[in-house]
Structure 1
């Protein structure tokens, strides 16, 4: 394997995102806290129906993976506590380091975003970067020019009031940035940072809009908006404390909260559907990220579009850490039916609105798990066809058959004893896993 030794050794705890903890923070191995779970490393490995094609140890500290296409070549981009690295993976058994942006002490580029057309990479700087903290630390966005993956260049950095994750909307002309816990200079009644919008039409001169969006997400309270995923219809789904809510960011649409038709923009999106997740499925109410399956689209002979797959399901991950494993984060599958008229935006503590849970899955007690690690929280996932692959930190990478959404079934797993699985991504039949301690594991499902 071609590898370049990593010069920077991370001192950041090799565990969760931070602040999205439900339960006793002193026992949660997440950013800014330490305790029994931070030290709980599984002593043994467990693997079923998975082949490890390769491991890239020089990417230790990895938190996210993305791909960009250059003609016939696909290049892997990895973000982490080191900054950003690019790899040639034409031969996935021998990945080759191409270029890097060195940011020792960076925190942490979770769910790093790429612009396919302009060959840009957007890195969210969390306020805990470079020894900072959520109360007073600086947050922002680095924009990296990746036109030449062997010559990566930071072309801009802009301060943003949020900085845990940043996500493209409207073809990356704008990015939405959210999280983490609120700063000292933000409103006292906020439970966390909402979404700020940045105009990236000129990536060398980004413009941050002063007023945040996705407010009042937790039964009327402004709270932590963690991450945003955009579905095939162009609807941006914001996940965080209080559930998952989807927005139109372009075109003319009826606003269900007012009953009026108006133009949706990245700065003033139109609510679509979504809402809180039942506390019976996700007691923390903190949803980490989501996925809404919708298929191809075609014109119906007029101006209307029809979609080839029912889009009434939302898949969402709860991230939480409790003593033991039984109550840790769960993958929840919920129905969006009954939420298309703004119900999720009118929810209050007295009259809460919750999506109906139709299925769920947790790693605690499942084959291949190690409860002695004390850490069973869910994290990022990716879907290819009817197979969902998901990271579960110390419980490794799990493959689920979701052909029946009411009954997800585990069909394979990869849990190395020294691993911390953060982020999996399907690519050409393989799964590239950002493992915070091992670097990149490249996996092949053999079943």
Structure 2
């Protein structure tokens, strides 16, 4: 833990940035592995024009955007603490929670924090297990990691190996975390095209895992097109070594080698071709799931978790480039989808890109049963323009459980953390924010908040480069959420907060 830098509490002016010469569409990728953490997993750098660099320096010098690494926030948020990366120097990724613990994914493995005192988190364990992007979740005594980089084998000592080799491995790893100080690797399941993200559907003695992966190639033996579905893994809680794939439901049926998802460019210029899903959020209490699937958003029925069925499928071929993630509201009559324009490695929070691209899309769910439809209402994007040296786009967030209102907290990479309300689907608005200034004003260095989630009264953010942040939100609109306590939270396995009681 290090002392917090001096912060300024101020309402940022909307910066008028110079038009970007072009987006950097760099995707995060794991680098070469050795017995030590992968050196290639550090935040990547990208060139910007001399004009863009000069504009970034002008904006920071004028105070229109924060200075390099300067922390700013709205007056209703406190920055309590930052915990820098230590033994795992790779890119920080997703978060999960259980009891007094937070679990932090990292391209080099995962870290467990004791957050019983949120103002002073303590490291309990750091586990070296390289393999991007190490998307993480927990259920009972089991922890799950996604490996979406081609490895020499399924061990935590594996090295990178081309996906064209049949012996290469990607998929899900399972750890026993009954002893938080000494997690034990107990099982793995190889899945087609790896596991970019995964979603848990807990059910009694078993945990079902929906594995999202994409980008097949005819030269990859274990990742063949059309790859138009998801892998479903069944994991017995008390015998995780028996974990196995039980189904590969096709979500985008269609004729030909590409299936029935969005064809992408050139039919729909600038839109990703659908070759699988990026992320899925389930709402087990309603037997619903929402899939963010590259060029498509889908709503599906999971009453039979082994055989999910699509209810509705939507596209936005004007403003959405890459359907990235999904969040239900508490009443299950809305879904917020995110568009990860530029793959998370580009500067898209500027005047050149505008307010409707790289944004959230808010959809109402109308109708009943198998007749339900997703109906677009509006976009939401932070209006705090960032420098062209800052990667910024809509990313992972969670609901803040306030009865009768739809409020969520969300990560925007170097755009920071935004708390916003969408109770009125057509008029979303920001109510709080936290952010750092650019990592650099000379070049684009990827960083910023990957995930920002609300858990038991606090906001936790996993910054790709800077580490683990804890924030405290004090606002009359969200104060009621402080009374809601969860034992376990995997944001993509969305709880029904109403079932857990409200102290009104």
Q: Deviations 1:10-47 (Å, cap 9, x if unpaired)?
A: xxxxxxxxxxxxxx998223224863379999735332
Contact kept, 8 Å, 2:341 with 2:348, in 1: the verdict is no
User: Of 340, 358, 381, which residue of structure 2 is paired with 1:329?
Assistant: 358
Structure 2 residue aligned with 1:276? 314
Structure 1 segment 19-30 matched on structure 2, within 5 A = 27-30=24-27
Query: Following the alignment from structure 2 to structure 1, what is the Cα–Cα distance between the partners of residues 429 and 195?
Result: 35
The change in CA–CA distance for 1:267 and 1:213 in structure 2 (over 3 A counts) is farther
Structure 1 residue aligned with 2:286? 233
Pick which of 153-162 and 369-378 moved more.
Answer: 369-378
Q: Which structure 2 segments of 5+ residues have no match? A: 4-20, 30-43, 57-66, 152-158, 254-259, 264-272, 440-446, 476-504
The change in CA–CA distance for 1:155 and 1:47 in structure 2 (over 3 A counts) is same
User: Of 239, 250, 257, which residue of structure 2 is paired with 1:213?
Assistant: 250
User: Of 171, 185, 203, which residue of structure 1 is paired with 2:221?
Assistant: 185
Superposition deviation, residue 213 in structure 1 = 3.3
**Structure 1 residue matching 2:134: 3-state secondary structure:** coil
Contact kept, 8 Å, 2:247 with 2:306, in 1: the verdict is no
Superposition deviation, residue 106 in structure 1 = 2.4
Query: Following the alignment from structure 1 to structure 2, what is the Cα–Cα distance between the partners of residues 276 and 249?
Result: 18
The change in CA–CA distance for 1:134 and 1:404 in structure 2 (over 3 A counts) is farther
The change in CA–CA distance for 1:148 and 1:31 in structure 2 (over 3 A counts) is same
Superposition deviation, residue 392 in structure 1 = 0.8
User: Of 363, 373, 387, which residue of structure 1 is paired with 2:389?
Assistant: 373
1:131 has 2:160 as partner: yes
The change in CA–CA distance for 1:293 and 1:430 in structure 2 (over 3 A counts) is same
Query: Following the alignment from structure 2 to structure 1, what is the Cα–Cα distance between the partners of residues 69 and 184?
Result: 41
1:289 has 2:322 as partner: no
Structure 1 segment 435-446 matched on structure 2, within 5 A = 435-446=463-474
**Structure 2 residue matching 1:31: 3-state secondary structure:** coil
Query: Following the alignment from structure 1 to structure 2, what is the Cα–Cα distance between the partners of residues 228 and 415?
Result: 27
Query: Following the alignment from structure 1 to structure 2, what is the Cα–Cα distance between the partners of residues 189 and 142?
Result: 24
Q: Deviations 1:350-409 (Å, cap 9, x if unpaired)?
A: xxxxx432121113xx13x32333533111111113321111111111111223221111
1:411 has 2:431 as partner: yes
1:150 has 2:181 as partner: yes
Query: Following the alignment from structure 1 to structure 2, what is the Cα–Cα distance between the partners of residues 25 and 165?
Result: 28
The change in CA–CA distance for 1:100 and 1:358 in structure 2 (over 3 A counts) is same
Query: Following the alignment from structure 2 to structure 1, what is the Cα–Cα distance between the partners of residues 323 and 432?
Result: 24
Contact kept, 8 Å, 2:200 with 2:210, in 1: the verdict is yes
Superposition deviation, residue 338 in structure 1 = 6.2
**Structure 1 residue matching 2:358: 3-state secondary structure:** coil
Query: Following the alignment from structure 2 to structure 1, what is the Cα–Cα distance between the partners of residues 222 and 22?
Result: 22
1:175 has 2:221 as partner: no
Cα RMSD for the two superposed structures:
3.3
Superposition deviation, residue 199 in structure 1 = 1.4
Query: Following the alignment from structure 1 to structure 2, what is the Cα–Cα distance between the partners of residues 287 and 373?
Result: 24
Structure 1 residue aligned with 2:62? none
Structure 1 residue aligned with 2:47? 36
Structure 1 segment 276-425 matched on structure 2, within 5 A = 276-280=314-318, 282-284=319-321, 286-294=322-330, 309=331, 311-321=332-342, 325=349, 326=353, 328-337=357-366, 341=370, 355-363=374-382, 366-367=383-384, 369-384=385-400, 385=402, 386-417=406-437, 418=439, 419-425=447-453
Query: Following the alignment from structure 1 to structure 2, what is the Cα–Cα distance between the partners of residues 406 and 135?
Result: 47
Contact kept, 8 Å, 1:318 with 1:329, in 2: the verdict is yes
Query: Following the alignment from structure 2 to structure 1, what is the Cα–Cα distance between the partners of residues 348 and 333?
Result: 34
Query: Following the alignment from structure 1 to structure 2, what is the Cα–Cα distance between the partners of residues 165 and 99?
Result: 22
When normalised by structure 2's length, the TM-score is: 0.67
Contact kept, 8 Å, 1:169 with 1:249, in 2: the verdict is no
Contact kept, 8 Å, 2:104 with 2:112, in 1: the verdict is yes
Pick which of 392-401 and 52-61 moved more.
Answer: 52-61
Query: Following the alignment from structure 2 to structure 1, what is the Cα–Cα distance between the partners of residues 287 and 110?
Result: 27
Query: Following the alignment from structure 1 to structure 2, what is the Cα–Cα distance between the partners of residues 394 and 431?
Result: 17
Query: Following the alignment from structure 1 to structure 2, what is the Cα–Cα distance between the partners of residues 236 and 37?
Result: 39
Pick which of 89-98 and 123-132 moved more.
Answer: 123-132
Query: Following the alignment from structure 2 to structure 1, what is the Cα–Cα distance between the partners of residues 248 and 430?
Result: 43
**Structure 2 residue matching 1:204: 3-state secondary structure:** helix
Query: Following the alignment from structure 1 to structure 2, what is the Cα–Cα distance between the partners of residues 380 and 135?
Result: 31
Contact kept, 8 Å, 1:288 with 1:316, in 2: the verdict is yes
Query: Following the alignment from structure 1 to structure 2, what is the Cα–Cα distance between the partners of residues 405 and 397?
Result: 20
Contact kept, 8 Å, 2:249 with 2:307, in 1: the verdict is no
Pick which of 236-245 and 380-389 moved more.
Answer: 236-245
Superposition deviation, residue 234 in structure 1 = 3.0
**Structure 2 residue matching 1:247: 3-state secondary structure:** strand
Query: Following the alignment from structure 2 to structure 1, what is the Cα–Cα distance between the partners of residues 223 and 371?
Result: 25
User: Of 129, 133, 141, which residue of structure 2 is paired with 1:108?
Assistant: 133
**Structure 2 residue matching 1:64: 3-state secondary structure:** strand
Superposition deviation, residue 316 in structure 1 = 0.8
